[in-house]
Amino acid sequence: MELAKRVAALTPSATLAITSKAKALREEGHDVIGLGAGEPDFNTPEHILSAAKQAMDEGHTKYTPSGGLPRLKAAIVAKLQQDQKLTYEQDEVIVTTGAKHALYTLFQVLLNKGDEVIIPAPYWVSYPEQVKLAEGEPVFVHTDETTGFKLTPDILEHKITDQTKAVIINSPSNPTGAMYTKEELQALGDVCLRHNVLIVSDEIYEKLVYGEVVHTSIAELSAELKKQTIIINGLSKSHSMTGWRIGYAVGDRRIIKAMTSLASHSTSNPTSVAQYAAIAAYEGSQEPVDVMKKAFSERLDETYKALVAIPGVACVKPTGAFYLYPNVKQAAEQCGFSNVDAWVEALLDEEKVAVVPGSGFGTPDYIRLSYATSMDNLHEAVARMARFVEKHRQ
């Protein structure tokens, strides 16, 4: 039986091969340190766990409205008002089975065959695949250290065509941890308004920012930009709820209505118990978020200093998320490897350190390291990387 062409066009996940190999090595008894995690290493906060148990005990285990519980929508509306001074109505919110499902559903209702979506590279691996599944065309825009891994208005303007439907802005970014300033967002927003391009603002890492920087949503800059923006967010990263699968999209009620209709024929509704847990996450204490953020900040500072001391490794220090995204092309060349993917594979074979090659994010000279693991693991992993480079350097 022949499979659908849309599936055949998908690119395998960049993390799949390295994760599979790391797992096999662990099963053989090797001491593998994995730095590929895309989730916090903290458990979900206790008050959220308690709320989920209470929901189960009270029988809240049935279907809910497809777009989410009204009380959870109200909590999301209140969160946006408090954090970004943005005012939305509940019919401008859809709760989804994770932020990934929000993005997938958005592209399904937004794109027609051949519509283009501008995606700055490095990009989160699922963006282009979701666009392709909706029969759209991903249009990649290369960014690097010279722009702080950020899209510029001139480049955006140059890439827009008559087929451009949307642009994705991920701030803070996965995989780079880069974050746009208010001025940078305004400049990009002006271009989108001139060309009537929808802004898909992925803000899933908004709570994990470090130093003096402040997260800004492009939707809060003006009424016009709010109307032109769909915000994507969720509780996976901010409240360590990756497995609960609660995300949401906020914006134009016509788009949200279409997304809700599609969701009613795909997932029916997000998991009921997880929605009650999400209500507790937003209505309850935010202290666990601050504790987690503090730990990530400390890990970032220590790991970054040790990482950039390795010969041939260059890295822009991120201001958000929980990833480091160093350029290791020079290190790979000095070690005699033809490309970074081969260097990554050898690092796992010889030193049992698993990192994600940047080729999966559209930039093959880089690697992604997650510091969502213990400080001891981070110290040991970077020490092994330094030893690996020293051993192979020519």
User: Are 317 and 270 contained in the same domain?
Assistant: no
pLDDT tens track for 373-389: 999 999 999 999 999 99
> Which pTM value belongs to this model?
0.96
User: Are 115 and 245 contained in the same domain?
Assistant: yes
pLDDT of amino acid 8:
82
The position carrying tokens 């003006």 is 222
Q: Could you give the C-alpha distances from 153 to 88, 116, 295, in angstroms and in order?
A: 28, 17, 35
User: Are 191 and 145 contained in the same domain?
Assistant: yes
pLDDT of amino acid 333:
97
Question: Rounded CA gap, 66 and 259, in Å?
Answer: 10
User: Are 86 and 207 contained in the same domain?
Assistant: yes
User: Are 244 and 177 contained in the same domain?
Assistant: yes
User: Are 178 and 322 contained in the same domain?
Assistant: no
pLDDT tens track for 68-118: 999 999 999 999 999 999 999 999 999 999 999 999 999 999 999 999 999
pLDDT tens track for 220-261: 999 999 999 999 999 999 999 999 999 999 999 999 999 999
232, 265, 283 - which closes a domain:
283
User: Are 168 and 272 contained in the same domain?
Assistant: yes
User: Are 39 and 52 contained in the same domain?
Assistant: no
Return the SS3 of 346: helix
pLDDT band at 295 (very low <50, low <70, confident <90, very high): very high
Q: Is the pLDDT of residue 157 over 70?
A: yes
Query: 1 versus 364: which is more confidently predicted?
Result: 364
Tokens coding 374: 């213990």
Contact 336, 394 (CB under 8 A): yes
Mean pLDDT for the stretch of residues 327-333: 98
Q: Is the pLDDT of residue 14 over 70?
A: no
258, 283, 308 - which closes a domain:
283
Q: Is the pLDDT of residue 15 over 80?
A: no
228, 257, 283 - which closes a domain:
283
Mean pLDDT for the chain overall: 96
Q: Which CATH number does the domain housing residue 124 bear?
A: 3.40.640.10
What is the extent of the structural domain holding 364?
5-43+288-392
User: Are 214 and 348 contained in the same domain?
Assistant: no
User: Are 63 and 212 contained in the same domain?
Assistant: yes
User: Are 369 and 322 contained in the same domain?
Assistant: yes
Q: Which CATH number does the domain housing residue 350 bear?
A: 3.90.1150.10
pLDDT band at 18 (very low <50, low <70, confident <90, very high): confident
Contact 68, 260 (CB under 8 A): no
pLDDT of amino acid 19:
77
Mean pLDDT for the stretch of residues 41-64: 98
User: Are 112 and 229 contained in the same domain?
Assistant: yes
Q: Is 288 exposed, middle or buried (0-12, 13-18, 19+ CB in 10 A)?
A: buried
As for how many domains the chain has, the answer is 2
pLDDT tens track for 24-47: 999 999 999 999 888 999 999 999
